[in-house]
Amino acid sequence: MKLMTRFSLSHSGTVILTLLISFFFIYEGARLTYQRQARLSQEQQISDLALAAKESLVQHEDVAVLNFMKSVVRNPLVVYAAYSNFSSGTHTVLPQTLDKELLADWQKSKPADSSASGSGQPNTFRLSNGLEIVEWSSTPRLEGHAAGLVRLGFSKAALEKDLAGQTSKWTQLESEAGVAALIMGLFVSLWLGRHLAAPLKKISEGTHLVRSGKLDSLVEVNRPDEIGDLARDFNSMVVQLKELDEMKRDFTAGVTHDLGTPLHAIRSAINYLQAGDAGPLTEKQSEYLLMVSNSTGNLTAFINNLLTTARIEAAKVEPYPEPVDVFAHVKELVDLYQPQAQERGVKLMLVKKAPYISLVADVTMFRQITLNLLSNALKFTSNGEVEVILSEENGNFILETRDTGIGIDPKHHQLIFEKFYRVHQPTGSPAPQGSGLGLTIVKGLTEAHGGKVMLESELGQGSVFRVTLPKQPRRI
Ligand SMILES: Nc1ncnc2c1ncn2[C@@H]1O[C@H](COP(=O)(O)OP(=O)(O)OP(=O)(O)O)[C@@H](O)[C@H]1O
Ligand SMILES: [Mg+2]
């Protein structure tokens, strides 16, 4: 998962969690407040009714309490209001439909504290129609004696619905605020994620460039935080790498040049001895001299490769273009390698796909390209086939080597063109000799002509190297 996605998700998760917790507390707080307010209002209503009843008892006139009862039962939460006058023995229930039921009920279970004048805890019970009632009662007193009883029945379901209605306003408000906070949180987390991920992406791109050999790839991240520190460290590392690379290049160029001169002298001495100019050689001497000659040849080839690589890196390769008899040169090289091919059980073929193939290029470099590809194809193939194919396509010259050898895992495709890179061969398999410079040279010389090299290969499936050269070099 990408850093930005991970960051956005965890940030949004934190926002949602915080919102849920705060919603819970706000909702519960609001619910408890409304519950208390509703209870206070019920208490207020029963004590007002008790007051009206007391007034009526004092005046021996029930009109005041009856009027009050009429207004109270208009409240949709109130199911009934009842009043009993103990001195006259009258009972009034509003609405009258509940008269009998409530009277019987009241006589059965007179409130336990009918002697008390204040309102106590509400009583809950069910009416015969199943309606659950929360009943408040109070006993108005005259001269210390209970003179009557008032009762107010509230519908429990209506009370709960009212409470739910009040709190649902909060729920709605909270959800709207929650959605707004969530959207804002998401934007903030996306912005933050981008803010953090963008410089890291730049550094990662820089790393890829450095990996592909572009040592001028400094990243521009000017931040005072840890990411800024990382970018600065990365840049100083790239600068150091570049310095090291230049030192290595200078060293290689210097050493190869210094080695070349004595090697040249050794070669001349060998030729002199082999020609017998210093007197006749014994059989053993000739044998040793041949070994020295071969080793000197290998060493000279290696030093020449190093020199060419150093020149390529210093961009000092300048092709000397001239018309190349492509077929003749490639055939000569193929013929040169035929004995080695036979020895390895390889059928080596040269295929010409166009009747006349023309190319203007540096002959020595063209031969070096062909030689390196051909020697690789043979080196990594045994008991199979190697084809060198010459053709033309879209006005370009194409040189292709196809082999049925060990093949190359795609993860190495880019790397094998780097200096000294060789694919590690599995233990037990014969390790072909080489210094890992051949393909660097092929690529460098091809590009110096304005061409390109392509590779198609899978492990165990053989390899195809395809060099495309413009018929006239572009960089003359
Ligand atoms: N035709 C091929 N089949 C399989 N592997 C190959 C082939 N050509 C190149 N390679 C792989 O690429 C690596 C680099 O090749 P390159 O020619 O640069 O070096 P080398 O052949 O090992 O040494 P040098 O060419 O300097 O003598 C080889 O070591 C080998 O692992
Ligand atoms: Mg090679």
pLDDT, tens only, 419-437: 999 998 776 666 678 889 9
The verdict on the CB of residue 436 being under 6 Å from ligand 1 is yes
State whether the beta carbon of 463 lies less than 6 angstroms from ligand 1: yes
**What per-residue confidence (pLDDT) applies to 462?**
95
**Ligand 1 contacts CB of residue 384 (under 6 A):** no
Cis status, amide bond into 224, omega within 30 of 0? no
Whether 438 lines ligand 1, by a CB cut-off of 6 Å, is yes
Mean pLDDT, to the nearest integer, of 261-270? 91
Ligand 2 centroid to Cα of residue 439, in Å, is 6
Q: Which helix (H) or strand (E) holds 466?
A: strand 463-470
Report which secondary-structure segment, H or E, holds 205. helix 156-211
Q: Looking at residues 287-314, what average pLDDT do you find?
A: 88
439 lines ligand 1 (CB under 6 A): yes
| C-alpha closest to that of 202 among 228, 224, 216, 221 | 221
Q: What ligand has the least distance to the C-alpha of 417? A: 1
Are residues 388 and 374 in contact, defined by beta-carbon separation less than 8 angstroms?
Answer: yes
**Which CA distances in Å does 148 have to 36, 86, 140, 461?**
28, 5, 6, 109
Structure tokens at 418: 């780097």
The residue ranges of DSSP E strands in 68-161, in sequence order, are 78-85, 90-94, 123-126, 132-138, 141-142, 145-146, 148-155
Between the CA of 422 and the centroid of ligand 1 the distance, in Å, is 6
106 CA to middle of ligand 1, Å? 108
Q: What region does 291 belong to: left with phi over 0, alpha with psi -120 to 50, or beta?
A: alpha
Q: Report the alpha-carbon distance of residue 407 to residue 456 in Å, rounded.
A: 9
- pLDDT of the residue at 115: 42
Question: What's the whole-number mean pLDDT along residues 86-100?
Answer: 84
Q: Is 444 in the pocket of ligand 1 (CB under 6 A)?
A: no
State if residue 403 touches ligand 1 by the CB under 6 angstroms criterion: yes
- Which tens digits make up the pLDDT trace of 281-291? 999 999 999 99
More confident position, 209 or 2? 209
Nearest CA to ligand 1 atom 7: 376
Instruction: Look at residue 106 in the predicted model and tell me its pLDDT.
Output: 64
| pLDDT at residue 1 is higher than 70 | no
> Cα(30)–Cα(377) distance, rounded to whole angstroms?
83
More confident residue, 3 or 464: 464
CA 422 to ligand 1: nearest atom: 29
Share of the chain above pLDDT 70, in %: 94
Is 319 touching ligand 1 by the criterion CB < 6 Å?
A: no
In the predicted model, is pLDDT for residue 113 greater than 60? no
pLDDT exceeds cutoff 50 at 201: yes
User: 176-180, 287-291, 294-298: which range is least confident on average?
Assistant: 176-180
- Residue 153: pLDDT above 50? yes
Partner residues linked to 91 by β-bridges = 84
Q: Angle between the 283-313 and 226-274 helix axes, to the nearest 10 degrees?
A: 150
Ligand 1 pocket, 50 CB below 6 A?
no
Residue nearest to atom 9 of ligand 1 (CA): 376
Please give the number of the atom of ligand 1 that sits closest to the Cα of 417: 18
Measured from the CA of 441, which atom of ligand 1 is nearest? Answer: 18
CB 416 near ligand 1, within 6 Å: yes
Ligand nearest to the CA of 309: 1
The pLDDT of residue 89 is 82
What ligand is nearest to the CA atom of residue 401? 1
Output the CA 340–ligand 2 centroid distance in Å: 15
The two tokens of residue 390 are: 């010459």
In percent, how much of the chain has pLDDT > 90? 44
Distance between Cα 313 and ligand 1 center (Å) = 19
**Spatial distance between the Cα atoms of 285 and 395, rounded to a whole number of angstroms:** 55
Tokens coding 62: 């029930």
Cα(428) to centroid(ligand 2), Å: 21
Question: From the CA of 35, how far away is ligand 1's center (Å)?
Answer: 85
Average pLDDT, the chain: 87
Who's near 165: CB < 8 A, 6+ residues apart?
none
**Ligand 1 atom, smallest distance to 423 CA:** 31
Specify the pLDDT at position 448: 94
Helix, strand, coil shares, percent, the chain, to 5: 55, 15, 30
